[in-house]
Structure 1
Amino acid sequence: MRSVGLDLGARHIAYCEVCDGKVVERTSVQQIEQLKGRLGPGTLPAIVAFEAAREAWFVHDLLRTWGHEPKIVDTTRLKTIGIGHHKRKNDALDAEHLAIAVEQGRIPEAHVLSVEGRELREQLSVRQALVETRAGYVTTIRGLARAHGKSVATCDISNFVTHLEATEMNPGLQKLVAPLAAMLKVLDEQLVRVEEKLQNLAGRDPRIRLCATAPGVGLIVGATFMSVMDDAHRFKNAHAVSAYLGLVPSESTTGGPSKRRLGGITKQGNPHARAMLVQAAHSLLRTRKHAGDPIRLWGMNIAKKKGRSIAAVAVARRLAGVLWAMCRDGAFYDPNTATKGTFQKKSMRGSDETQRTVALRRATKKLQRRYTRRKTSEVTMT
C-alpha cells in the first residue's frame, strides 16, 4: 500500500507520498476533494496519516469511502515521529514526516469517536457556546446595573431574566440593557432546545443513564463523560482514564527513585470533560443528601487536610474511575463498592434486580429534571 501524509490546515492541505524513504510526490490543495486524482475512488489503496483536528473525522470517513486506510495521529505524541525536530516545522515537512512514519509503521493513533460520540460532542459544543455567551451577557448586565447604583438579586442564571424584569431601573438603564435582555431570552430558548436534543441522545445510550446513578452526575456530566470516553474497553484501568483526562499529578523525578517530585495535575485531554467532573465533585462535596456516600466521606477527609479545591480534584479523579468501571461492567452505582473501583455485573435476581430498577428509575428522573426545570422557566417567562 502507498504511504501518504496529510497536514490539514484551515486554508490549505499539504500532501506528501513517500516510497522507500524518499518523497515521490507532494502538493498543496485548498480542499480535500481536490485530492480525488491522487486519493479518490479507483486509485491505488493507501495508508493515509493526518493529525487530529476539527476536520479529522470528516476526512477519516471520506477516505474510508474512497477505499483507503486513514490513521488519525495523537497530537500529544507528534514529536515521537519527528514533527518539529530541530525546530523545523512547516506544513510540507509535517506531511513528509507523517508519510515516513506510515511507511515505517510508527504512527501513534488517536481514538476515532463513534457516530454516537460525535453527536453528543457536537450538541455539547453548541450548548457550551450558548452557556458561555449567556454568562457574558449576564456579567455585562450586572456591571451596567451596578454602574447605575442598582443590583440584580443573586439567583440561578436560568432565572436571571425574571429577576432582571423585577428589578426597578431608571429609563436610561432599561434602554441600555434591553438589547442584552432580549438576547438572553433567545439564548434561554435555544438552550432548552439543545438540552432536549441531549435528553433524546441520552435516552438512546443506556451508559449515560448508568452514569447518572452516581452522585453529582446528571445529564450534562454524564453526556460529556461518554462523549470523551466513548468505548470503556479501550482503557486498561481507572488510572488510564484519569491520566487521559489530565486528572493525575505531573511528575519530574530525576536522579533516582529515592525522591519523587509531583506537581499539579497534567491538564491533558479534553478540558471541558475535566471541568465537568470537577464541577460534579464540588456538587458532591457540598450536597448534604449524599452525606453518607463513601466517595464524599473520603473527599471530606482530604478537604480537612489539604483544602476543598484539592479535594474536589481528587474526588473528580476517583469519580472518573468509578464511571469508567460502571460503563465497562454495565453496572449501576453501588456505594458499597464505589471506593474499590471494581464493579461487577449484577446478577439481576432478587434484591439485585430491585436495586438496579430503583437506581435506574432515579437516574431517569435526574436526567429529565434539568430539562423539565428549563421548560417550566420558559413557560413562566412567556
Structure 2
Amino acid sequence: MKNNTIIFVGLDTHKEFTEVAYCEDQRGSEVKHLGRVSSAKVSLTKMARQFESKYPQATLHFVYEAGPCGYWIYRLLTSLGHCCYVVAPSLIPKKPGQRVKTDKRDAQDLARLVRNGDLDPIYVPEPADEAIRDLSRARERAMHDLNNARFQLKALLLRNHINYSGKSNWSLKHLRWLTEIILPHPSQQFVLQEMIQTISERNARLERLDNELAHHVKQWRYYPVVKAIQALRGVRLLTATGVIVELGDLTRFDSPRKLMSYIGTTPSEHSSGGKRHLGAITKCGNGRARRLLVEAAHSYRYPAKISKELQLRQEGLPKEVIDQAWQAQQRLCRRYQRLIHKGKHRSVVVTAIARELIAYIRSISKEVTLPRIDPKTRISRVPA
C-alpha cells in the first residue's frame, strides 16, 4: 500500500447497529463490506481501531447520514483523530431506476460517493451550541402547545355560543372571566376547568423556559452576535437566538447569496433553450430559521424610525453595527413599499425582505469577535 492512502468508510447508522463498508481512494476500486457492528460507543471505537491496525499508514475518512441519532458518532470519531463527514439524506445522489434498498447497499453507496467527491458535508454544531438550540426549540414548542390549548378552549366556548365582550384575550381580566363561566352540563364544566388548568400550567412552563433561555444565552459564546444583530428592526432576543442557533457561524458562507440559498429564500429556476423561468422559493435548508426571518420582515412595512425599544437594544453596540442596522432599515422599508406599489403579493414582498435581512445579519456578525474553540478541550477561549 502507498503512503498517505485514504480509506473511505461508509456507515449506515441505526439505533441498535451500524452497517460498515469501505474502499480505497483509487477510483474504480472495489467497495468492500465489513459487516454489522453494534452502535455502542465501545463497538464503534473498536471498529476504528481495527481500521487503524489494518491500514497503519492510511488516513481514515468516515461518512454517515444525518438522522435522529444526532452527532455523537461524528464527535466520537473526530475525538479519535479521524475525519468524519455528516451528509444530508436529501442531498445523496440516487439512481432513478434503483429499486433495491438495503443497509449494506446504503453503506457501500456512502463510501463510493464520498470517494468520488459527490457528497457535501453539512455543518455540525458544537455540543454547547446544540444545547442552546435544544432550549430554544423547547421554548418554541411550549409556545405552540400553549396556543393549541387556547384554541381548544375558544372552540369549546364558540360551540356553546359564549363570547367575550372585552378587548384583549388572555389578559388577567379575560382569565377571571373564564373562571366565572357556567356551562349547562357538569361534564362540560369539568372539561372547561381542565382546559383552564392546562393553559395555566403551560403559561408557567413557557415562563420557565423564557427565564432559562435568557440566562443561558448570556453565557453562550455566540451571545455577542445575538446582541449585535438585535440592532436590526424586528430582530429581538428570541428571533436573534433562534436564527443563530439554527445557522451557527454565518461567516463560514463565502457570500450572502450562498447564505440566502442555504436557507431556501432564493427563487427556484427552470431554464432551457434560451427561456428563463423563475418559480417559488426553494424552501430548502432550515425551515425554522427561514420562518423567523419572515416573521421579522413584517416589521419593515412601516416607515423607517428608531423606536425607544430599538434604541435600548442598540445601547453599548459599536457604531459600525448601529450604522449598518440603520442602513438596513432604510433600504428594506423603501424596498417593501416599492414592491407593494408594484402590485406584488404581500407574502412575496415579505419573503424578499427576509432574503435581504439575512444578508445584513451576516454582515453584522462579521463585525463581532467570537471566542475560538480549542479542538482538544472543546472549551471557548477569547483570542488575545
In the other structure, the counterpart of 2:310 is none
2-structure distance, mates of 1:83, 1:113: 31
Conserved? CA contact 1:83–1:89, under 8 Å? no
The amino acid that maps onto 1:209 is K
The amino acid that maps onto 1:63 is L
Gaps of 5+ in 2: 1-5, 54-58, 308-328, 370-384
2-structure distance, mates of 1:131, 1:10: 30
In the other structure, the counterpart of 2:265 is 247
Give how far 1:55 is off.
Answer: 2.4
Conserved? CA contact 2:304–2:330, under 8 Å? no
Does 2:209 match 1:165?
A: no
Aligned CA distance change for structure 1 residues 43 and 85 (closer, same or farther; 3 Å): farther
Conserved? CA contact 1:207–1:330, under 8 Å? yes
In the other structure, the counterpart of 1:149 is 161
Give how far 1:31 is off.
Answer: 4.3
Does 2:42 match 1:26?
A: no
1-structure distance, mates of 2:264, 2:282: 5
> Which of residues 184, 193, 212 in structure 1 aligns to 2:199?
184
In the other structure, the counterpart of 1:108 is 120
Conserved? CA contact 2:304–2:333, under 8 Å? no
Give how far 1:69 is off.
Answer: 2.1
Give how far 1:139 is off.
Answer: 0.9
> Which of residues 258, 277, 289 in structure 2 aligns to 1:261?
277
The share of aligned pairs that are identical, in percent, is: 21
Aligned ranges for residues 341-352 of structure 1 at < 5 Å? Answer: none
2-structure distance, mates of 1:289, 1:178: 45
2-structure distance, mates of 1:201, 1:104: 42
TM-score by length of 1: 0.76
In the other structure, the counterpart of 2:133 is 121
2-structure distance, mates of 1:114, 1:273: 18
In the other structure, the counterpart of 2:218 is 203
> Which of residues 268, 271, 276 in structure 1 aligns to 2:292?
276
Give how far 1:230 is off.
Answer: 1.4
Conserved? CA contact 2:265–2:283, under 8 Å? yes
The 3-state SS of whatever aligns with 1:293 is: helix
CA-to-partner distance for each residue in 1:85-138, whole Å, 9 max, x for gaps?
624433221111112234445441111113443123111221122112111111
Give how far 1:314 is off.
Answer: 0.9
Which range moves more in the overlay, 216-225 or 124-133? 124-133
The 3-state SS of whatever aligns with 2:254 is: coil
Which structure has more helix as a fraction of its residues? Answer: 1
Aligned CA distance change for structure 1 residues 52 and 83 (closer, same or farther; 3 Å): farther
1-structure distance, mates of 2:79, 2:131: 20
2-structure distance, mates of 1:120, 1:129: 14
The 3-state SS of whatever aligns with 2:84 is: strand
Does 2:239 match 1:221?
A: yes
Does 2:75 match 1:37?
A: no
Does 2:335 match 1:298?
A: yes
The 3-state SS of whatever aligns with 2:120 is: coil
2-structure distance, mates of 1:286, 1:280: 12
TM-score by length of 2: 0.76
The 3-state SS of whatever aligns with 1:86 is: coil
Conserved? CA contact 1:73–1:107, under 8 Å? yes
Give how far 1:161 is off.
Answer: 7.2
The amino acid that maps onto 2:351 is V
Conserved? CA contact 1:63–1:69, under 8 Å? yes
Does 2:11 match 1:6?
A: yes
The amino acid that maps onto 2:23 is V
Aligned CA distance change for structure 1 residues 95 and 151 (closer, same or farther; 3 Å): farther
Aligned residues: 326
Give how far 1:283 is off.
Answer: 2.9
CA-to-partner distance for each residue in 1:7-61, whole Å, 9 max, x for gaps?
2235543222334423141215454544343136995463210112232321111
The amino acid that maps onto 1:177 is L
The 3-state SS of whatever aligns with 1:306 is: coil
Aligned CA distance change for structure 1 residues 153 and 118 (closer, same or farther; 3 Å): farther
Conserved? CA contact 2:168–2:174, under 8 Å? no
The amino acid that maps onto 1:278 is V
In the other structure, the counterpart of 2:22 is 17
In the other structure, the counterpart of 2:377 is none
Give how far 1:198 is off.
Answer: 2.1
Conserved? CA contact 1:40–1:66, under 8 Å? no
Aligned CA distance change for structure 1 residues 41 and 18 (closer, same or farther; 3 Å): closer
